[in-house]
């Protein structure tokens, strides 16, 4: 009787829990799972070599993209621009910038590329107009500051940039917006401008890379992991014997996997931005994917925001669509927690949360997005979520024991190749 009760109600703390934890009995030996992962890794390496670009689709004229440029190239681009402006003034035509439009009307989702890109609409920003004289001045000043940053090759934050001329910029939204304009004008990424965002991501596992000249071995970073550097241009020499990259939405799940050294049982690199993806983590993930040619599996909450976070890594945010080629990581697989997992893994009712009206609206909006639509599996899962009106966090798995995530759920997911 006591035995039967144990089987029905999972006890997260029982010492001899190994047998009673749901689905534990389905797990095959690690060697079997590993060999299946090796197949996954080699197919990812084969497929990722043929990433499509705008020019493959003959869209380079109709769309605008920026690329990574070394500081010296940014410097020359600014100098050429200055010369052309001076010529224009000398020829009596005054001076104006041609600025690509970054409005959503000028954005396009390209299914072949699976990301949002910027179309080719531009607008003129003349100095000799009351409505644009201020913005033209700010643009010139930002170009001047960027030129200095590239000359010295140092990195600053947007906040630093704002404070160099508060009188002119007035508030930071103004200098920030012009900074994005300058990226588009020069055709280079924001990181090429040496303006970086605050870092918050961490990485741990089977990865060696150089950060500003120092070699970092991420298997020797304890539980805390290595903070992801804010400036991707000083990151290089990536080496790894991992079979996949595990992209984790949240800190708590990351911690569990780091403490259990999950990456030693299943060779992988574990990375998290601790919530909303920041630019540094997105750049780092893409760089890993591109250089190491590894498959990326995502572990996110089973709610609309989990999928949204996955989508920002995968196909970019609208705000920085001009840089989607550099910020996005193609072909991220949705490993879990998926809405269908809730029943499949018998997540107890009390660990599921009812979706709010706002959640349901966000879920329905996602169903209209192209990047979701093109993946029938995702549509099915999202439909299930919206219909059941239930969500769950990764942490809900703790109801089967604190290490259920690392010892049963993830190994089983990998064994069953259960990703979409």
Name the site residues for its own copies (rule: CB under 8 A).
12-13, 15, 144-145, 147-149, 151-152, 154-157, 159-167, 196, 198-200, 202, 210-216, 219-231, 234-235, 251-252, 255-256, 259-260, 274, 348, 350-351, 393, 395-399, 402-403
Q: Considering beta carbons, is residue 82 or 221 the nearer one to its own copies?
A: 221
C-alpha span between 259 and 211 (Å, rounded): 24
Q: What is the dihedral of CA 394, 396, 400, 404, to 10 degrees?
A: 10
263 is a catalytic site residue:
no
Q: Considering beta carbons, is residue 136 or 272 the nearer one to its own copies?
A: 272
Q: Considering beta carbons, is residue 143 or 307 the nearer one to its own copies?
A: 143
Catalytic residue among 109, 127, 163, 263: 163
- At 190, list the tokens: 């924001």
Q: Half-sphere exposure (CA, 13 Å, Cβ side) for 376?
A: 0
Residue that is written with structure tokens 């009812």 in the block: 354
DSSP class of residue 198 equals P
- At 318, list the tokens: 């609208």
| Whether 157 contacts 195, CB under 8 Å | yes
112 annotated as a binding-site residue: no
Q: What minimum distance in Å lies between the beta carbon of 293 and its own copies? A: 23
Task: Indicate left, alpha or beta for 268 from its phi (over 0: left) and psi (-120 to 50: alpha).
Answer: beta
- State the sign of the Cα–Cα–Cα–Cα dihedral 102, 106, 107, 112: negative
How, if at all, do strands 214-217 and 208-211 pair? antiparallel
Q: Considering beta carbons, is residue 237 or 331 the nearer one to its own copies?
A: 237
- Phi/psi of residue 250, each to 5°? -125, 155
Q: What minimum distance in Å lies between the beta carbon of 215 and its own copies? A: 7
Q: What minimum distance in Å lies between the beta carbon of 236 and its own copies? A: 11
Q: What minimum distance in Å lies between the beta carbon of 337 and its own copies? A: 12
- Helix/strand/coil for 144: helix
Q: Is the peptide bond before 337 cis (omega within 30 degrees of 0)?
A: yes
Q: What minimum distance in Å lies between the beta carbon of 247 and its own copies? A: 17
Q: Considering beta carbons, is residue 235 or 325 the nearer one to its own copies?
A: 235
249 annotated as a binding-site residue: yes
Catalytic site positions: 163
**Residues making up the binding site:** 249, 301
**Residues making up the binding site for Mg(2+):** 249, 301
């Amino acid at each position: 009787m006591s035995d039967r009760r144990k089987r029905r109600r999972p006890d997260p703390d029982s010492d001899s829990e190994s047998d009673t934890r749901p689905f534990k009995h389905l797990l095959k030996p690690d060697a079997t799972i590993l060999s299946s992962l090796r197949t996954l890794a080699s197919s990812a390496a084969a497929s990722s070599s043929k990433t499509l670009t705008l020019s493959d689709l003959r869209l380079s004229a109709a769309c605008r993209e920026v690329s990574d440029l070394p500081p010296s190239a940014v410097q020359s681009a600014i100098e050429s621009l200055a010369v052309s402006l001076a010529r224009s003034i000398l020829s009596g035509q005054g001076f104006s910038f041609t600025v690509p439009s970054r409005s959503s009307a000028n954005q396009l989702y390209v299914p072949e590329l699976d990301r949002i890109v910027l179309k080719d609409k531009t607008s003129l920003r003349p100095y000799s107009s009351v409505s644009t004289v201020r913005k033209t001045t700010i643009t010139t000043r930002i170009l001047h500051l960027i030129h200095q940053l590239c000359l010295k090759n140092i990195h600053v934050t947007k906040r630093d940039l704002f404070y160099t001329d508060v009188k002119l910029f007035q508030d930071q939204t103004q200098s920030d917006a012009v900074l994005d304009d300058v990226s588009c004008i020069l055709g280079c990424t924001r990181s090429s401008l040496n303006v970086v965002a605050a870092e918050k991501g961490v990485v741990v596992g089977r990865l060696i890379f150089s950060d500003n000249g120092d070699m970092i071995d991420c298997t020797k970073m304890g539980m805390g992991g290595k903070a992801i550097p804010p400036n991707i241009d000083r990151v290089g020499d990536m080496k790894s014997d991992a079979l996949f990259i595990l992209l984790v939405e949240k800190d708590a799940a990351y911690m569990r996997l780091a403490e259990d050294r999950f990456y030693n049982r299943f060779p992988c690199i574990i990375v998290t931005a601790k919530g909303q993806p920041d630019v540094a983590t997105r750049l780092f993930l893409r760089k890993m994917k591109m250089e190491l040619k590894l498959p990326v599996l995502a572990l996110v909450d089973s709610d609309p925001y989990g999928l949204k976070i996955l989508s920002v890594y995968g196909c970019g945010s609208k705000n920085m669509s001009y840089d989607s080629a550099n910020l996005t990581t193609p072909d991220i697989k949705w490993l879990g927690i998926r809405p269908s997992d809730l029943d499949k893994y018998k997540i107890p009712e009390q660990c599921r949360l009812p979706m709010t009206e706002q959640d349901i609206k966000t879920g329905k909006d996602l169903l209209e997005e192209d990047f979701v639509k093109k993946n029938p599996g995702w549509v099915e899962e999202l439909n299930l979520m919206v219909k059941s009106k239930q969500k769950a966090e990764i942490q809900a798995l703790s109801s089967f024991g604190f290490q259920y995530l690392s010892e049963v759920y993830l190994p089983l997911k990998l064994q069953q190749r259960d990703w979409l």
